[in-house]
Amino acid sequence: MQNNKRIKVLIVDDSPLVRTTLTCVLAKEDDIEVVGGATDPFDARELIIAHRPNVIILDLEMPRMDGLTFLRKLMVHYPVPVIICSGITTSNGRKAMEAIEAGAVGVIAKPSTGGSKALRILGVQIAENIRAAAIAAPAPPNIPASAAGAPPSFRSLGLDPARYLVAIGASTGGTEAIRQVLSSFPADFPPVAIVQHMPAGFTKSFAERLNEFSAMQVSEAVDGDVLVPGRAFIARGGVQMSFKVVAGQWRLTYGTDKLVNRHCPSVETLFNSVAEKIGKRAVGILLTGMGNDGAEGLLNMRNAGAVTIAQDEKTSVVYGMPKVANEIGAAQYTTALGDVASTVHKALRRPKAVCVSER
């Protein structure tokens, strides 16, 4: 009976060290069972048929068939949550973003140094990702906004984009959620700062990919970046991002690599700095993700007078972070993913009503 409750995991990686180490580390988790290790997609096919895994950990670079090609075939014949586990290279960064678009639920970076010890640390991180992947709902590819047509430009509504800042946080399922949200923002939208739980080495590729879909200019944040309308900034993996005010300008700043809520960067750190430095001129948006990172920070933003929004359960891949935000009263608005932009416009056009919860 216990085995029926465990998450069955298949590891697909051509490295014997990776397969062996991750299998040993995950064996210590009571709720996870590694049902096999495959050297390539052809070997994986037989193990999938035999064990019907709940989650697959997939490398990108393998002999005979690369991981991205395999993932696309897998999503057609056996759609299952897949976590990409790959070395950090420019090429792999781009492929990882394509893998997310093809249906993978997350990306983890293999350590470049440290041998089996580093892999054991990685195994602990993977365990949390496996649990999130196991409960992930399929990401809705394109959720149309309920309002007719695309959101109007910011200035056409009588709003000054230089007066506001938008902060967004997300985790599992967030890469595609952020892509959809940014693609619905007009070019004259207020500056946007984003924390997506993603390892160092992949956030630059993520920002570059988002830039292809957005009317805004999207880039990986650099320490000291000035927040101006029409720009969106992705927090770099492996370091905490927050805000400072210098000579009347809003600027991004990087700090410690210490984990907050088990994450670096953390949504909590971002939101708390916005609450402290910007207050009622800010908008906080908490999207899909497992756990509670960002929920308390969103509440602090609300208490500071900001507009606060959480993604609804129906359109969330994992309804964890937004759920906690709603439970503690942090979210003034709960909305479908496709309606985030119109909700921001609506809330800022009637500031006296934003404390009313719309669910």
- Tell me: pLDDT of 34 over 70: yes
Q: Which amino acid is at 167?
A: A
d(CA 22, CA 44): 16
Domain-embedded: residue 56: yes
For residues 11 and 122, membership in a common domain is answered with yes
Q: How far apart are the first and last CA of the chain?
A: 39
Query: Which among 13, 197, 242, 342 is annotated as catalytic?
Result: 197
Domain of residue 50 covers 2-134
User: What share of the chain in percent tops pLDDT 70?
Assistant: 89
Give CA 1 to chain center in angstroms. 34
Tens-digit pLDDT profile for residues 14-29 = 999 889 988 988 998 9
Q: Which residue has the tokens 């984003």?
A: 194
Confirm whether 31 is a catalytic residue. no
Q: How many CB atoms lie within 10 A of CB 355?
A: 11
User: 174 and 128, same structural domain?
Assistant: no
Q: Which of 37, 34, 99, 89 is nearest to 66 (CA)?
A: 99
Q: Is residue 314 part of a domain?
A: yes
- Cis bond leading into 265, ω under 30°? yes
- In this prediction, residue 339 has a pLDDT band, given cuts at 50, 70 and 90, of very high
What the block records as the tokens of 181 is 């949200």
Catalytic residue among 15, 86, 171, 214: 171
Question: What is the per-residue pLDDT for 143?
Answer: 46
Of 277, 257, 247, the C-alpha closest to 167 is 277
Is residue 116 located within the same domain as residue 167? no
Left (φ > 0), alpha (ψ -120 to 50) or beta: where does 275 sit?
alpha
Q: What angle do CA 115, 121, 127 make, to 5 degrees?
A: 130
What whole-number distance in Å separates Cα of residue 118 and Cα of residue 120? Answer: 5
Averaged pLDDT, 245-265: 94
Q: Are residues 222 and 272 in the same domain?
A: yes
216 plus 327 within the same structural domain: yes
Write the single-letter amino acid at 159.
Answer: L
Domain-located, residue 283: yes
Contact (CB, 8 A) for 83 and 66: no
pLDDT digits (tens, 9 = 90+) for 211-247: 998 999 999 999 999 999 999 999 999 999 999 999 8
**Does 355 have pLDDT greater than 90?**
no
> What pLDDT score does 318 carry?
95
Banded model confidence at residue 210, pLDDT cuts 50, 70, 90: very high
Number of domains making up the chain: 2
Q: How far is CA 94 from CA 18, 100, 203, 237, 354, in A?
A: 22, 10, 10, 15, 39
In a domain, 71, yes or no: yes
Banded pLDDT at 109 (limits 50, 70, 90): confident
For residue 276, what pLDDT is reported? 96
In tens, the pLDDT along 152-170 reads 789 998 899 999 999 999 9
How many whole angstroms separate alpha carbon 4 and alpha carbon 152? 50
Which sign, positive or negative, has the C-alpha torsion 183, 177, 103, 97? positive
Quick count: other Cβ atoms within 10 Å of Cβ 270?
28
Mean pLDDT of the chain: 89
Among 101-105, 161-165, 267-271, the least confident range: 101-105
The reply to whether 244 falls in a domain is yes
Residue 140 covered by a domain: no
Cβ count within 10 A of residue 212: 10
SS (H, E, C) 312-326: CCCCCCCECHHHHHH
The answer to whether the beta carbons of residues 57 and 18 sit under 8 Å apart is: no
**Looking at residue 35, which CATH number applies to its domain?**
3.40.50.2300
Is residue 163 located within the same domain as residue 118?
Answer: no
Which pLDDT belongs to residue 172?
94
Question: Among the three residues 103, 134, 165, which one is the final residue of a domain in this structure?
Answer: 134
Structure tokens belonging to residue 83: 């976590």
Residue with tokens 């196991």: 134
pLDDT-derived band at 118 (thresholds 50, 70, 90) equals low
Is there a catalytic annotation at residue 59?
Answer: no
197 included as an active-site residue = yes
Are 338 and 269 in a shared domain?
Answer: yes
Q: What is the CATH number of the domain that holds 334?
A: 3.40.50.180
Predicted confidence band of residue 359 (pLDDT cuts 50, 70, 90): very low
> Is residue 258 domain-shared with residue 119, that is, in the same domain?
no
Q: Catalytic pick from 40, 59, 293, 339?
A: 293
Q: What is the pLDDT of residues 54-94, one digit of tens each?
A: 999 999 999 889 999 999 999 999 999 999 998 877 778 88
